[in-house]
Structures are given as structure tokens and as C-alpha cells.
Amino acid sequence: MSDTPYMDELSRGPWPSHAKELKRTRYPVEMYEEAMKEKYTQWGHGGMSNVPGLGSGAIARKSRRPDIISHSHLIRVLGTPGNFYKASTFRKICKIADKYGDGSLHVLTTNYNIEICGLMSNEDMKGVTLELNAMGFDVGSAGDAIRNIPDCMGPALCEYAVVDTPRLKHFLTKHYIDDIQFPRFGYKIKTKMSGCPNECGKAVLHGDVGIIGVFRDLPRVDNERLREWAGNGGNIALVCDNCPADAMRWDNRKLVIDGDRCVRCMYCINRVPAIKPGDDRGVAITVGGKMKGKFGPMKGKVVFPFIEITPPDYKELVRAFDRICDVFDEHGLKKERMGDMIQRIGFDKYLEMLGVEVSPMLFSSPRRNTFYHWKAEELGGAV
Amino acid sequence: MSNIGGVGVTPVEENIPPVLLKNYGKWDTHEIPRPGVIKRISETGDVCYTVRLAMPPSRISVATMLELCDLADEYSGGYFRITLRNSFEFIDVIPEKIDELIGKAEAMGFPVGGTKNSLHNIMACPAWIHCNLPATDSPGIAKALGDALIEEFKNHRLPSWLKINIGACANIEEALMADIGIIGVHRDQPIVIEEKMQICERPTVIHSCPTYAIKPKGKHSVTIVAEKCIHCGACTMHCEAILTGDPKLDGYAVAVGGKASNTGSGPDLGRVVIPYLPNNPPRWEEAVNAVVQIMDAWRKDANPDERMREWVNRIGWDRFFKKTGIMVSIKDIDGYIYGSEFARSDLRFGW
Ligand code: SF4
Ligand code: SF4
Ligand code: SF4
Ligand code: SF4
């Protein structure tokens, strides 16, 4: 009989199998097999590993089963802009993973890093890092630091992109590399980017900081192309019906989008090639999206509804990002996620700390209580 | 000491094919000639074909990645991409060779699909493969689900796309962001290993508990008030001396309706509809059944182009339970932070 009946079962069937994959590596398969048998993980506590000269990126993992393996560390490789790879480049990463690790990879983590797994010593992790550095890659994205700043493929291959997320990723990673590699905050800062409100990057839901491409004018309609599309069987009536704001009027010749109704949701743009995002483009920034932490799962909240994107120094964006990090640095408690900090402080006070301009774009509705504090200076000297 | 780190990431130009560089920002429209294959068309008239594969949950071997690199060299000029759902996508595939590539990839055990109105690649955390906190095993569940739903991955026959994410503890960032999410749940009382408490930062552990269940004890240790624990896992994550997990009690919950895009009713997190199912490796029948039950009800009732959450919003959560046949329990009622928001104040019942 096989030593690994559970993994054997998980090696069968049409879906790609992690069990089969693990068996092609030097990963200690008994650890996984035993977990399934016992219905309990065989791994122990994890933490930051101390690689001299490097603040973060290396993660140490203890084992509860020293009879099988004593420990197994991993290191996170920051993903490329748009997560595009050349086979010749990826082969080098594979070679490094095989040389230092157990030959297994995590492609990609929830934060879109590549993990090189099964490293046994700090020396290994240092070796991996140096070899990656030599090929223009870097490690990071662990601990209470700015994590990897993942992007979507943006204009590299997507027709909907309103901002250049791959180039933003390249710029932001370089600009903040010290804060990515040397943890200095109370807790991690996960930043996510999407090139448009379709939000493939899940920046609002997932990011302590979310950066999302937006446009302020209306979707652009090419009526001639639209007539042709409709003539070839395109169902414009269905698209008009599904517009969440009921903003589209089509009279068989011309489509008019009502500027008082449209919410720039992207739906018509996704469905009709003759409709494109508007030209007045920038990014919105949200803060505080997360799953875990004291107050549970939260959606991100818009704090900068529109920021202009100005390469090469992206001045306004950097100023906003710095401000968000500074307030978190100053007011966040140890192991308190940004969303929890904002909940504790109060969103109104938090916005004051950020120093943002108040506008109706900052809320989905105004408050429904009158429980606010009036400062002496707001009372016009009456007290 | 040698210089280490400080490099950043490679420039955009380094890993994308010439056709993408030439048409950067000029992509105009796309077609999906068959599931898994996308034809992108540029304003310049250039086209770029991509072919998308399902990936094994959470871990892949160097050996397999090298084989995929070989395929990329042969069929797409060596270029590929890992999508935000961890699919493997060949970029700029030679059009005449698409069928051949699909044949080879499928023969290697990599189904092609996951575009448009299909099941997209399933996302899973490492859990029992390499983590200390899981209450269940995401890769195992993902594999069982993928096997059961393979035809949905390979065909465009769902009302809209279906995304399934799995996280094996409350720490997961993904499960509430998918149409269907599976979240590991612990139900046991965390235990404190008093002799080890010195290594923990006691104030951090105490204030990390959302229900103030952790009280100082003696000079270094803490105790946990059992009735107050809601099994959020914050303490076990921040302190090595507090442990949770019990093979007889651990399991997972099922959530529905997470969605990131701004179309329809906009972005929202999913809601937990099944509070607990037991761990049953290696085939996880309960998870598969629950997902099929939810998917089938949606498929039967949804309008064309209607995501899971838009469907629920249209029919109401009350009818969601009626139509799926999922049992409601007191655990569906939120008594936590948003409790009062999620209670019903309108009388617009869906009897
Ligand atoms: S977020 Fe927008 S720009 Fe980015 S890949 Fe998705 S649809 Fe394209
Ligand atoms: S962008 Fe959305 S809201 Fe605006 S017209 Fe199109 S579908 Fe309607
Ligand atoms: S979601 Fe939980 S169980 Fe899964 S890898 Fe993360 S911490 Fe571990
Ligand atoms: S699991 Fe959460 S609720 Fe329970 S004691 Fe730990 S921190 Fe408190």
C-alpha cells in the first residue's frame, strides 16, 4: 500500500493537482499527508527571519514534527509589473529556487509575490536574495512594512485601462523600496492597484491602501461605430437596461449618456466596443480595506476621489501616499490594521489628520446623528 | 557586508513581448473565440492571442514551471503572464498553433478555460501545506472543487463568471471577495502555554482581542474568558504561546456574494451563509455539495450577465435561502460590529 493515500487521491482527477506537484519536489510530503490524516496542520509558528542586511521578505516557519522536518523557510519575490514573465527570466528564478529551496514555488501569493519555498538557513535566504538582485529582481513583502504593490496588466494588454498601472508599480516599488524592505510601522500596509473601476486588483476590498484608475468626464461614445455594432447584432437595448444608473438613452441612431445619472461604473464600456472611458483621467485612493483584525472585514473608504497622475515623479500621488503612511505611523497601535485604526479614531477625525479637502465624493451618505464635537475656534469666540 | 536588496522590480519593458510594447495603451477590443482563448485587437490592427490555464492550488514544482516555460518558448515567443487569479496565460500565441498548444497543455494536465461566463481559476492559500493557523485545507478543497466543476471551467455556460476563493482561517484576504468563498473556522477555546508567555508582547496580545476576552494573569501570562471568544484568531497570530485548533472541531464556513467591480450595485464583501461544515479530506464532499447547490440555484434563476451578488440583490437574501435550500441558523445573524446594519428594518418581505 502507498505511504500517501490522501495525496494519491488528490493526484487523480482533471484539475491540476498540488499533491502531484509537491511530489515532484523535495517538499516533505509526510507533513501534508499527516495533516490530512490527522485533520490538523503539522506546521508550527511562523515569523520574520533575520537575514543580515535585509529587513523583510524572509519568513521562518517552525515544524511541529521534528521527526519529519525541523523547519522550512520561504522568501517572497516581488512580482513583475503586470505579472508578465519571459521564459528565460523565469527559468533563472526556477534555478535559484531549485538550488536553495526544495523545488516548490507559490505562484502567486494573495499579494502577488512568487514564493520560493523550502529554504533551510539564513545563508540560503541571503543567497537567493543576492542572486535575484543580480538579475534585477528583489524580495520583500513581509512583516510590518509596505507590502508588494501589485497591479493589473493595465494598458499593456487591457483595453479598459485608464491609468498605467504597470509603470506605477515600477515607480512606487522603487520609490518605497526601503519601506518595503525595512518594516517601520505598527502593522503591515497592503497596497493594491487597478487600472480602472472594473477593479481586477480588488484594491478597495483588499488594500489598506487602494489606488484605482478613474475618469471624471463621461464615457466616450462613437455613435457611428455603435450603429455598426448594433447592426451586427450587438444588443444595445440589454446594455441600456442593465445600466445601474439608468443613464443611457438610445434612439436607434444615437446614444446619449446622461451626465446627471452616470456613475462611471464601466458596464457599458465593458460590453460595447464603441464606448470608451472618458479622457479626464486620474486615480482614486481608498484606505482601510481588509478581512482580518479587530473590527472584522471592511471595505476600503475613499479618501482621495481624484488625483492626477503625473510621471515621472507622480508628485501628487506620492504626497497622498506619504500622508497616509505618516498618519498610520503616528497613530496606529501595534498590530492594528489601518481600517481598525480609522474605526477607532473616527473617519471624520481621520480625514482631518490626512488634511484632505472635504467633498461629497467622500461619503455614500452624510451622517444620521448629531454626535459631533465642536472645537472652540468653530464657535466664533462665543465661549 | 555585501549590498542586499534595494533593487525594486524590473522595468515594464523587460518582460512583455514586442506586440504589447508597440500597442501599449492602444488595445481596442477583444473576442473570445473559444473558452480560455482571448484575441485582443489593437487600434493599429495588431492582434494578440492569449491562452489561459487552470493552475494547481497554492504550490507548483519547479519541474512543471520549466515545462510551461518550454511551451511558452515554443508557442508564444517565451512570454506568459500570471493573472490576478493565478491562472497561467501564454501571451501572444502564434494563431495557427493555438489548437496544438491547447492539446499539449491539456495532455500535461492543465485544462484551458476560465474566461467569460465560466468558473475562473480557484484561489487557495497554502493551509496544511505550510501554515500553522489553518482550520481547514484550502488546496485540498480547491482540488476537489476543481475536479467536480471542471466542465464549468472549460465551457461558457454560466449566467456570468463565477469566482471561488478559499482561505483556511479568518486571516484570509480573499474568501469574502469572491462569488463563493470558503473560510476556515476554529471553534475550540484557544489555550495559553503559560511557560512560553514571556516571549509574547502581552499588551499587544491583550489589545488585539476584539471582545476583550484576554485578561492579564500574574506577571507575564494571560487567561482567556471562554464565553467571550469569537475565534477570530488575532491572539494566535500575534503570540506563539497561544494555540488554537482541534481536529474534531475545526472546519469551514461558506460565504456568498463578494464582488470587486463597480458595475451593478458596486463592490461589496460576501456574506457568510453556512457557518460551519466539517473537514472531510481528501474529497471534501460537503464543500463540493454546498458550492454546487448555490451555483445551481443561481444558474437556474439568474438573468443573463447577472453576477451572483446582483442576483441576490434582486431577489433578496430571504429568497436566496429559499431558492438554494440552505438552512438558516442563528449564526447567520450578525451580532458583531455591523449587526444593527444587517438586521431588517423594512417590511419588504419576500414571502
Ligand atoms: S482593472 Fe481595469 S485596467 Fe486593470 S485589468 Fe481590470 S479591466 Fe483592465
Ligand atoms: S458607465 Fe455605467 S452608469 Fe455610466 S452610462 Fe455606462 S453603464 Fe451607465
Ligand atoms: S489564510 Fe490563514 S490558514 Fe491560510 S495561509 Fe493565511 S494564515 Fe494560513
Ligand atoms: S481568538 Fe480572537 S476572540 Fe478569541 S481570545 Fe483570541 S483574540 Fe480574543
ipTM of this complex prediction, to 2 decimal places: 0.95
CATH code: domain of residue A63: 3.30.70.2500
Q: Are residues A168 and A308 in the same domain?
A: yes
Query: What SS3 state is found at A213?
Result: strand
Task: Tell me the average pLDDT across A9-37.
Answer: 98
A131 grid coordinates:
542572486
Give the tens place of pLDDT for each residue, A220-256. Answer: 999 999 999 999 999 999 999 999 999 999 999 999 9
Does A361 fall in a domain? Answer: no
User: Is A367 a member of any domain?
Assistant: no
Give the model's pLDDT for residue A50. Answer: 72
Q: Does any CB of chain B come closer than 8 Å to the CB of residue A208?
A: no
Pairing of β A209-215 and β A281-287: antiparallel
Same domain, A197 and A300: yes
Residues A199 and A293 placed together within one structural domain of the fold: yes
Q: Would you say residue B134 has pLDDT above 60?
A: yes
**Which of A46-50, A218-222, B132-136 is predicted with the least confidence, judged by mean pLDDT?**
A46-50
DSSP A357-372: PP-GGG-SS--S----
Residue B89: its H or E element: strand B88-91
Does residue B111 sit at the A interface (CB-CB below 8 Å)? Answer: yes
Pairwise CA distance, residues A256 & B297, whole Å: 36
Q: CB-CB: which of B27, B66, B175 is closest to A94?
A: B66
Average pLDDT of the residues of chain B? 94
3-state SS assignment for residue B147:
helix
The residue segments making up the domain with residue A69 are: 5-135
Please report the DSSP string for B188-225 in residue order: SPPEE-GGGGGGS-HHHHHHH-TT--EEEETTTEEEE-
Judge if A198 and A316 occupy the same domain.
Answer: yes
Per-residue pLDDT for A342 more than 80? yes
The domain that contains A193 carries what CATH number? 3.30.413.10
- A41 and A73 share a domain? yes
Together in a domain, A83 and A191: no
Residue A295 forms part of a structural domain: yes
Number of domains in chain A: 3
Is A3 exposed, middle or buried, given 0-12, 13-18 or 19+ CB atoms closer than 10 A?
exposed
The verdict on A119 and A242 lying in the same domain is: no
Same domain, A180 and A241: no
Percent of residues, chain B, with pLDDT higher than 70:
99
Same domain, A71 and A123: yes
What is the model's pTM? 0.95
Residue ending a domain, among A252, A276, A300, is A276
A169 touching B (Cβ < 8 Å) = yes
> What CATH number is attached to the domain comprising A244?
3.30.70.20
Domains of chain B listed by start with CATH number: 24-107 (3.30.70.3340), 123-186+248-344 (3.30.413.10), 191-232 (no CATH)
- Residues of chain B contacting residue A150, judged by C-beta atoms under 8 Å apart: 84
Chain-centroid distance of CA A206 in Å reads: 6
pLDDT tens-digit series, residues A119-178: 999 899 999 999 999 999 999 888 899 999 999 999 999 999 999 999 999 999 999 999
**pLDDT tens for each residue of B111-127:** 999 999 999 999 999 99
Q: Is A168 among the domain residues?
A: yes
Looking at residues A257-272, what average pLDDT do you find? 97
Q: Above pLDDT 70, what percent of chain A? A: 99
- The residue from A253, A276, A299 where one domain ends is A276
* Statement to judge: residues A225 and A209 lie in one domain: no
- Residue A309 shares a structural domain with residue A194: yes
Q: Do A206 and A269 have their domain in common?
A: no
Tens of pLDDT along B272-308?
999 999 999 999 999 999 999 999 999 999 999 999 9
* Atom number in ligand 3 closest to CA B169: 2
| A276, A297, A314 - which closes a domain | A276
Kindly calculate the radius of gyration of chain B based on its CA atoms and give it in whole angstroms: 23
Amino acid B1: pLDDT? 41
Closest ligand 4 atom to Cα of B244: 1
Measured in Å, residue B229 CA sits from the centre of ligand 4 at 5
